[in-house]
Structure 1
Amino acid sequence: MSESCCTTDGSCSTGAATTATAVAESTATVYRVSGMSCGHCRTAITDAVGALDGVFSVEVDIAGGLVTVATGGEPDDAKIAEAIDDAGYELTGRA
């Protein structure tokens, strides 16, 4: 049985093991992303951004065009933008 990136509250996470301490000490940054329209978009962005070093979780709000990234410290906006671009979407800035 494969694991889903979606949590019981409908948000997505990378599936990476995190501890309550790591998440509590993480920095959440919200980005505006264009081109998202479906569950495939959510999965593609979650997988791409979630694979980056230092990313604890990724939540995608398709309707709002927002992606929230929790990192261990200040996020690398350039790397996040590149991952989103490589997935076929465009990071248009921080929300």
Structure 2
Amino acid sequence: MATTEYRVTGMTCGHCEMSVREEVELIAGVEDIRVSAQTGELVITSAAELDDAVVLAAVTEAGYSAVRA
């Protein structure tokens, strides 16, 4: 198991959280996602280490920006 944390900018509400969650769920190996518009945190638990570029692309697809924390 691997846990990775990212800082997401631009989220303001529950709909924003849902958009990010829906995109990140599509990444192979993702087992759990915690996302908070209030804190700007995205925490992903996965079977193995994820490629940051893939995660960042998913967040961008949802309409937001992120960096690894």
TM bucket (normalised to shorter chain) is: over 0.9
Sequence identity (%): 36
Determine the C-alpha separation between the residues in 2 that align with 1:90 and 1:69.
16
Query: Is 1:38 aligned with 2:35?
Result: no
* Structure 2: runs of 5+ lacking an equivalent: none
Specify which structure has the bigger relative contact order, considering alpha-carbon pairs within 8 angstroms and separated by 6 or more residues.
2
- Residue 43 of structure 2 corresponds to 68
Q: C-alpha root-mean-square deviation of aligned residues, in Å?
A: 0.8
Query: Is 1:47 aligned with 2:22?
Result: yes
- Residue 16 of structure 1 corresponds to none
Corresponding residue pairs, total: 69
**Max Rg structure:** 1
TM-score scaled by length of structure 1? 0.69
* Structure 1: runs of 5+ lacking an equivalent: 1-25
User: Which structure 1 residue ranges, 4+ long, deviate > 4 Å from structure 2?
Assistant: none
Amino acid paired to 1:94? R
Query: Is 1:94 aligned with 2:56?
Result: no
TM-score scaled by length of structure 2? 0.94
Instruction: Select 1:85's aligned residue among 60, 65, 69.
Output: 60
